[in-house]
């Protein structure tokens, strides 16, 4: 299924998770329904300590609706780190980074190769 966008509710949830976990990072696996990213599973671990997040993602049941990942950058930088670029292709095609201060514009979408992805905010 082609991914057309991300639900506004899910995006708001990502900002809330960023605030709740600040100054730590959260990592989540994203799932799509009908081409819209609208569900998440929180994953223990961080991408800075990359192995732990990857380990728990490997433990999740294989899901054809898995769309990618989301995680936070408590330092507010919205571009992917070298560790993110190694992590992205292992999880899926679309990746969201939300950053401090977790306001409505404090996010970016990326493809697995780290190029910006245009994701329409739906709802």
Candidates 7-15, 59-67, 81-89, 99-107; binding stretch for Zn ion (CB under 5 A): 81-89
Tokens read off for 30: 């994203």
The residue written with tokens 């408590």 in the block is 74
Beta-strand relationship, 120-122 and 36-43 = unpaired
Give the Cα separation of 35 and 40 in Å (integer): 14
Nearer to Zn ion, 36 or 117 (CB): 117
Catalytic (active site) residue 51? no
Can residue 50 be called a binding residue for Zn ion (CB under 5 A)?
no
Tokens read off for 23: 């100054």
Dihedral angle, C-alpha 57, 58, 61, 65, nearest 10 °: 60
Nearer to Zn ion, 31 or 71 (CB): 71
* Per-position x/- string for 29-48, each x denoting binding to Zn ion as judged by CB under 5 A, each - no binding: ------------------x-
Can residue 106 be called a binding residue for Zn ion (CB under 5 A)?
no
Q: Which residues bind Zn ion (CB under 5 A)?
A: 47, 81, 84
């Amino acid at each position: 299924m082609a991914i057309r966008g991300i639900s506004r509710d899910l995006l708001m949830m990502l900002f809330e998770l960023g605030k709740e976990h600040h100054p730590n990072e959260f990592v989540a696996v994203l799932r799509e329904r009908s081409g819209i990213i609208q569900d998440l599973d929180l994953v223990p671990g961080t991408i800075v300590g990359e192995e732990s997040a990857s380990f728990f993602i490997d433990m999740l049941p294989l899901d054809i609706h898995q769309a990618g990942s989301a995680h936070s950058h408590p330092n507010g930088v919205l571009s992917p780190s070298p560790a993110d670029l190694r992590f992205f292709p292992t999880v899926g095609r679309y990746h969201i980074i939300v950053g401090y201060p977790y306001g409505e514009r404090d996010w970016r979408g990326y493809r697995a190769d780290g190029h910006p992805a245009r994701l329409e905010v739906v709802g």
